[in-house]
Structure 1
Amino acid sequence: MPLHFPLGLFNPAQTARYFTMTVTVPLSMTPEQGGTFPPAAPNDDPLTLPPPRAVFGDPLSTALRNRRSLRSFDTARDLSLQQLSELLWCACGVNRTETGGRTVPSWRDAREVEVFVATRAGVWRYDPVPNWLSLHLRTDVRPLTSTPDLVAGAPLELIYVGHRDHLTNLPREDQYRIASTDTGFIAANIYLYCASEGLATVLRTSFDHSPLTRALRLDRGEFVTFVQSVGYPAA
């Protein structure tokens, strides 16, 4: 029987170490178990995500064949916490605990792109090291991430935010170019996870940066690169 490596793990030499990692979630747990996101009543405490399953998703070749951009979503169906955890782990989670290495590359390991998770209940910031979400805003900013004719009701918007203080001594245009390139690596992993889990996603630049930046209350050294919609596809 052929061995299929999980998405995000590209070095077969690390396979043994990966499969001997300790997890607190039973390997038989399905993505639907463990609750959905967002919570009905978000609070200021960090939301600890379940660890990603040791094995999940389709073989890489199958995910690549199924990869596509979809713009219509099931507005009544949320992702599970397990799916959200794996989605964010694919985005920029830690896959080498001894070094803190991530599932995606970044320019000189700058790790300058942060993932904001926007839902109807508010906006969270993803911290890969403890694998949790911190509540940033209790405001639904999703209407500012697109135009109604482009994306219909995605329950989840991943907002990619670059940090200039991770890219010091570079011209502003180079900072934006590098952060945008590194965002592309993140988005590609999200596409593959969604393709393997039967989810819909689309990466977008069609939004007004200024209102979204103000709504997110970003600092002067922070800027939005792209937005990626995620959810179950519309029937």
Structure 2
Amino acid sequence: MRILILMVMMGLVSANAAAEEDAVTYASPAAAIKLPEARINGGKPLMQALKERRSSRSFIDKELSDQELSDLLWAAFGINRADQGKRTAPSAMNMQEIDIFVAMQKGLYIYQPERNELKMVLKEDIRAITGKQAFAADAPVNLIFVADHSKMDKAGEMKEIYAAMDAGYISQNVYLYCASQGLATVARGWFDKEALEKAMKLGDGKSVILAQTVGYSE
């Protein structure tokens, strides 16, 4: 009888745990930010944006709107040829191995260009871990470019080089968008890579390549 009672109790605990897990899974879509369609017209001419491109390390406490985030991320590495799934920045062998994570005060998100949304990864504010400069902790947006090496089998020994190149293309797109829209930005390689990857809870085969801060300048 005791064994039977124990089995029933264990079953109830398991059922409750499963229900909680299902509840979390069911609630997860609410954590995503559905972005408005990116505005692909307007902004400064390319040559003017190139003239004004610069690195800024001074930011004010002003968040970017969802529209600005959408425009920024589309310019960085969005889909510009929907029928082919091709992107605004080149990638070696079209591996598209770079994911853009967005660290903000309200949490860490990953950009999903196919859905044009930001999916929440963590609720924690990890901006301070994205860089060793003080401004990274308070700037509204820190982009983190992560290479998924599982998509790079055909790259062979060139994985690290290709990932760095591809992240660089995306970073330059961010620079040009910011110059076009009057935003401040700076690409950064000075961060504790191990601590950042741990804070982001990155899985095996994924590594941080570069970070880039975006916001409004003083």
Q: Within 5 Å, which residues of 2 pair with 1:73-152? A: 73-75=59-61, 77-149=62-134, 151=136
Matched, 1:154 2:143: no
- Kept in 1: contact 2:33–2:118 (CA 8 A): yes
Alignment identity in percent?
41
Choose between structure 1 and 2: higher helix proportion: 2
SS at match of 1:79: coil
- Residue 153 of structure 1 deviates from its aligned partner by 2.4
The CA deviation string for residues 95-129 of structure 1, in whole angstroms up to 9 with x for no partner, is: 11111111010000000000000011110000111
Equivalence for 1:174:
158
Equivalence for 2:211:
227
SS at match of 1:136: strand
Q: In the alignment, which of 38, 42, 56 is matched to residue 70 of structure 1?
A: 56
- Residue 168 of structure 1 deviates from its aligned partner by 1.1
Query: What is the alpha-carbon root mean square deviation over aligned residues?
Result: 1.7
Structure 1 CA distance, aligned partners of 2:35 and 2:132? 31
- Kept in 1: contact 2:43–2:181 (CA 8 A): yes
Structure 2 CA distance, aligned partners of 1:138 and 1:151? 18
Equivalence for 1:216:
200
Unaligned 5+ runs, structure 1: 1-41
- Kept in 2: contact 1:72–1:153 (CA 8 A): no
Count of residues paired in the alignment: 191
- Residue 50 of structure 1 deviates from its aligned partner by 0.6
Counterpart residue identity of residue 96, structure 2: R
Structure 1 CA distance, aligned partners of 2:165 and 2:78? 18
- Residue 169 of structure 1 deviates from its aligned partner by 5.0
Structure 2 CA distance, aligned partners of 1:66 and 1:132? 29
Q: Within 5 Å, which residues of 2 pair with 1:48-63? A: 48-63=34-49
SS at match of 1:160: strand
Equivalence for 2:33:
47
Matched, 1:206 2:187: no
- Kept in 2: contact 1:110–1:167 (CA 8 A): yes
- Kept in 2: contact 1:44–1:135 (CA 8 A): no
- Kept in 2: contact 1:47–1:134 (CA 8 A): yes
- Residue 150 of structure 1 deviates from its aligned partner by 6.3
Structure 1 CA distance, aligned partners of 2:48 and 2:127? 31
Structure of greater Rg:
2
- Kept in 1: contact 2:128–2:134 (CA 8 A): no
Equivalence for 2:22:
none
The CA deviation string for residues 173-208 of structure 1, in whole angstroms up to 9 with x for no partner, is: 621211111000000000000001110000000001
Equivalence for 1:9:
none
Equivalence for 2:6:
none
The CA deviation string for residues 121-151 of structure 1, in whole angstroms up to 9 with x for no partner, is: 1100001111111000001111111124465
Moved over 6 A (4+): none
Structure 2 CA distance, aligned partners of 1:151 and 1:142? 6
Unaligned 5+ runs, structure 2: 1-27
Give the TM-score, by structure 1 length: 0.77
